[in-house]
Structure 1
C-alpha cells in the first residue's frame, strides 16, 4: 500500500526516450554478426550511423543496407582511431553523440599451449580498441555534450571456461576499463556501459559449433535457445538510448539465464 505524499513528478515521453532521431553514432565492428544487426537497430531508431569495420567492403555493404556511412579502420591502431574520431563529425554532419563498439574475437587455447603471440593478439583485438575508443571517442562525445559509450564484453570475463583464459582475461579487463571510464567521464555527461553475451549464433560461432553445438547450448539455457545476434543488438540499443540515461559503469549480462542456472542435477520423485 502506498503511503506518504502523492507523487506529482513529471511523466516523460517514454516512447521518445526510446528513439534516436537526430543522433549521430559511430559503430565499431559493423561489418558482420552483432555489428550488422546493431547497425540496423540504431538506424531503425532514427540514428545516423557511421559503420566502421576493418573490412571496407563489409562496412560499405552494411552501410548500404541501413542508410549509414561506411568507414574502413583498424581500430587497434592509435592513428586509425584518432583519425576516425577527427573525421567522424564531418562525415556525419555534426558532433558524435555516441559510440557502440562490438569489436572482439577469440582464439581458443589451453594455458599450457598459449604463447606470447596469442596472448598479445587477444589484448589487441579485445581490449586495445576499447582503450583507444575511451580516449578519442570519449573526448568526442564529451565535446558534443555527452552520450553513451557502449562495449561488448562477454560472460567469459565474469566466469571461467576451458580454453578461454586469454580471451576471458581481456574481457574482464575491458569491464574494468569501462567502470573506470564511467567514473572519469561521468562529469562530462558520458555514460559508459557494456553488454556481456553468452553463446551468440554469429556466423563464426555457427561455423565452429555446428548444429549439434547449437542443440547442446540451447539445452543448457533456461530460455531453451541460443542467442541470436539481434538479441545482443537490442541490449546495445537500450544502453545507447535515453531510456538508460541514469545507467553507467554497468555490465548487462545477456545469456538466456545460463549464468544463474546452478548446475545441480534435476531432482525427481519426493526429494
Structure 2
C-alpha cells in the first residue's frame, strides 16, 4: 500500500523573497554586479555595494537604495574592513556574492610568470578572502550563502585561455571545498559559470562583429546578458536553492553542449 504524501506544499513565490536580509555584492559597479544588486534589491534584500571604483559603488547603491563601499578585494585588510562595515550597516550578513574577475589571453607557450600570477590574483585571491573573512562572519551569526562567478573556461578548454581557465577551475574546486567545510556550519557555497556575456568590458573588447560571431555559435541565438547571470545568482542565494551547495551552474546559452563539427 502506497503511503499518502503528506509533505506540506510551500508557498513557492515567498521562497524567492529576501526581505530584510543583508547581502554584500563585491564587484557591484557595472555589468553582472550591477544587475545582481538590482536583482537582490527587487526581492527585498538590503544590498551593500562594493567596487574598486568609489563612484561606481556610489552610483549603484543609489540605484538600488543600498550602501556603497570601495576597496581592493584582493587585499586582506580591505576585505576585513568591507565585512566589518557591512556587518555594522546591515546588522547581519546573510550572503556574499563575489563577481570580481578579469582576463588576459595568450598562447600558453608565451605566458609570462607575471601574467600567470596576475590571473590567479584577479580570479582567485579575492574569492578566498571573501569566503574566509565573510564565512567567519556568517558562521558566527547563524549561517548564510556564498556565490561566486566562475566561467565555462574553468570547465572546458579554449585557445589562449590557459591561465584564466586554470584559475577559474581552481575557483570551482574552492566552491566544492567551501560547501563541504562550511555546510555543517550553516553556509552554502555555489558558483555560476557564464559563457560569453555582453558586459561593458566584453563589448569594448569584442565589438559588434564579436557579438555576431558568438550569437551565431550559441544554440539560443544570442550572447548572454548580465541580467541572465543575475537571475541565476538570485536563484542560488534564495531559499529556492536551500538544498543546493557545492555546485557550479552553467549559464552559457547551450554553447557547452555543442559538438564542434566543422562547418558544412
Q: TM range, normalised to the smaller chain?
A: over 0.9
1:177 is the counterpart of 2:177: no
Alignment counterpart, residue 200 of structure 1, candidates 176, 197, 200: 197
Q: Note if 1:224 corresponds to 2:245.
A: no
1:42-62, Cα deviation, whole Å (9 max, x unpaired): 010110000001111100000
Q: Give the total of aligned pairs.
A: 264
Tell me the TM-score normalised to structure 2 length.
Answer: 0.97
| RMSD, matched Cα | 1.2
- Residue matched to 1:106: 103
Kindly state the Cα deviation for residue 157 of structure 1 after the two structures are TM-superposed: 0.3
**Partner of residue 20, structure 1:** 18
Q: Are the structure 2 counterparts of residues 85 and 221 from structure 1 closer, same or farther at C-alpha, using a change threshold of 3 Å?
A: same
Q: Could you report, residue by residue, the CA deviation over 1:100-119 in whole angstroms, capped at 9, with x for unpaired residues?
A: 11110101111122111111
| Shift >3 Å, 4+ stretches | none
| Secondary structure, counterpart of 2:107 in structure 1 | coil
Residue in 2 that maps onto 1:142: 139
Give me the whole-angstrom Cα distance separating, in 1, the residues matched to 2:85 and 2:207.
41
SS in 1 for 2:68: strand
**TM-score normalised over the length of structure 1:** 0.95
Return the alpha-carbon distance in structure 1 between the equivalents of residues 218 and 182 of structure 2.
36
Structure 2, unmatched stretches of 5+, are: none
Give the Cα–Cα distance (whole angstroms) in 1 for the partners of residues 8 and 231 of structure 2. 27
In structure 2, distance between residues paired with 1:56 and 1:120: 26
Matched with 2:163 is 166
